[in-house]
Amino acid sequence: MIDAPLSAVSFAPLAVALPIFGAALAFIMRRKRRTQITVTISVLVITLCLEIWMLATVWGGGTYAVTLGGWAPPFGISMVVDGFSAFMLVVSSVVCLAVLLYATSQGMADGDEDGPVSIFHPAYLILVAGVSNAFLAGDLFNLYVGFEILLTASYVLLTLGGTVARIRAGTTYVVVSVLSSMLFLISIGMIYAATGTVNMADLSLKLAEIAPGTQTVLHVMLLVAFGIKAAVFPLSFWLPDSYPTAPAPVTAVFAGLLTKVGVYAIIRTETLLFPGNKFSTALLVVAGLTMLVGILGAVAQTDIKRMLSFTLTSHIGFLIFGVAVGNQLAMGATVYYVAHHIVVQTSLFLVAGLIERRAGTSNIDRLGSLAKLSPLLGMLFFIPAINLGGIPPFSGFLGKLGLVQGGAEMGTPLAWVLIAVSLLTSLLTLLTIARIWNRAFWRKAEDAVDPDPLLLVGVGAKRGATYDIVADEPGSKYSDRGDSALLPKGMLAMTGALVLVGVALTVFAGPLFDFSDRAAEQLLNPGHYIEAVLGSTEGNSP
Check whether the bond before 393 is cis (ω within 30° of 0). yes
Between 186 and 507, name the residue whose CB sits nearer to other proteins. Answer: 186
Binding to other proteins by CB under 8 A, coded x per residue (else -) over 47-86, reads ----------------------------------------
Q: Which of 94, 118, 146 is nearest to 26 (CA)?
A: 118
Task: Check binding of 278 to other proteins (CB under 8 A).
Answer: no
Backbone dihedral angles phi then psi of residue 432, each to the nearest 5 degrees:
-60, -45
For residue 208, give Cα distances in angstroms to 38, 75, 212, 213, 522.
Answer: 49, 19, 8, 11, 19
Least distance CB 141 / other proteins (angstroms): 6
Q: Which of 186, 420, 431, 507 binds other proteins (CB under 8 A)?
A: 186
Between 454 and 493, name the residue whose CB sits nearer to other proteins. Answer: 454
Sort strands 78-81 and 64-67 into parallel, antiparallel or unpaired: antiparallel
Rounded-to-integer distance, Cα 500 and Cα 259, Å: 23
Task: Check binding of 470 to other proteins (CB under 8 A).
Answer: no
Identity of residue 128: V
Least distance CB 156 / other proteins (angstroms): 7
Between 114 and 450, name the residue whose CB sits nearer to other proteins. Answer: 450
Give residues 406-425 in contact with other proteins (rule: CB under 8 A): none
Task: Check binding of 472 to other proteins (CB under 8 A).
Answer: no
Rounded-to-integer distance, Cα 13 and Cα 80, Å: 10
User: E strand or H helix at 21, and its extent?
Assistant: helix 14-28
Task: Check binding of 217 to other proteins (CB under 8 A).
Answer: no
Q: Which of 350, 312, 309 is nearest to 492 (CA)?
A: 350
Applying CB under 8 A, the span of 52-60, 178-186, 339-347, 520-528 interacting with other proteins comes to 178-186
Least distance CB 162 / other proteins (angstroms): 5
Least distance CB 365 / other proteins (angstroms): 8
Between 457 and 503, name the residue whose CB sits nearer to other proteins. Answer: 457
Q: Yes or no: say if 132 and 142 are a contact pair by the CB < 8 Å rule.
A: no
Q: Which of 13, 62, 360, 460 binds other proteins (CB under 8 A)?
A: 460
Applying CB under 8 A, the span of 100-108, 456-464, 484-492, 518-526 interacting with other proteins comes to 456-464
Least distance CB 40 / other proteins (angstroms): 22
Rounded-to-integer distance, Cα 541 and Cα 288, Å: 43
Q: What is the DSSP string of 175-221?
A: HHHHHHHHHHHHHHHHHHHHHS--BHHHHHHHGGGS-HHHHHHHHHH
Applying CB under 8 A, the span of 92-100, 187-195, 417-425, 524-532 interacting with other proteins comes to 187-195
Rounded-to-integer distance, Cα 301 and Cα 436, Å: 10
DSSP letter at 65? E
Give residues 422-441 in contact with other proteins (rule: CB under 8 A): 439
Q: Which of 66, 188, 316, 501 binds other proteins (CB under 8 A)?
A: 188
Contacts of 344 (CB under 8 A, 6+ apart): 384, 387, 388, 395, 396, 502
Task: Check binding of 311 to other proteins (CB under 8 A).
Answer: no
DSSP reduced 3-state for 124:
helix
Q: Which of 1, 56, 72, 193 binds other proteins (CB under 8 A)?
A: 193
Report how many residues bind other proteins under the rule CB under 8 A: 51
Contacts of 523 (CB under 8 A, 6+ apart): 82, 84, 267, 271, 272, 331, 335
Q: Yes or no: say if 65 and 79 are a contact pair by the CB < 8 Å rule.
A: yes
For residue 476, give Cα distances in angstroms to 39, 354, 373, 469, 484.
Answer: 39, 21, 11, 9, 12
Least distance CB 451 / other proteins (angstroms): 6
Q: Which of 41, 108, 185, 221 binds other proteins (CB under 8 A)?
A: 185
Identity of residue 339: A
Give residues 231-270 in contact with other proteins (rule: CB under 8 A): 241, 244
Identity of residue 319: L
Q: Which of 258, 333, 388, 456 binds other proteins (CB under 8 A)?
A: 456
Q: Which of 229, 268, 306, 341 binds other proteins (CB under 8 A)?
A: 306
Task: Check binding of 16 to other proteins (CB under 8 A).
Answer: no
Task: Check binding of 282 to other proteins (CB under 8 A).
Answer: no
Backbone dihedral angles phi then psi of residue 78, each to the nearest 5 degrees:
-105, 150
Q: Classify 310 in phi/psi space as left (phi over 0), alpha (psi -120 to 50) or beta.
A: alpha
Applying CB under 8 A, the span of 248-256, 298-306, 328-336, 409-417 interacting with other proteins comes to 298-306
Give residues 157-176 in contact with other proteins (rule: CB under 8 A): 159, 162-164, 167-172, 174-175
Applying CB under 8 A, the span of 128-136, 215-223, 326-334, 447-455 interacting with other proteins comes to 447-455
Least distance CB 322 / other proteins (angstroms): 30
What CA dihedral angle connects 482, 488, 494 and 497, to 10 degrees?
40
Task: Check binding of 189 to other proteins (CB under 8 A).
Answer: yes
Binding to other proteins by CB under 8 A, coded x per residue (else -) over 127-156, reads --------------x---x--x---x--xx
Chain residues in the site for other proteins (CB under 8 A): 141, 145, 148, 152, 155-156, 159, 162-164, 167-172, 174-175, 178-179, 181-182, 185-186, 188-190, 192-193, 198, 241, 244, 300-303, 306, 439, 443-447, 449-453, 456, 460, 463
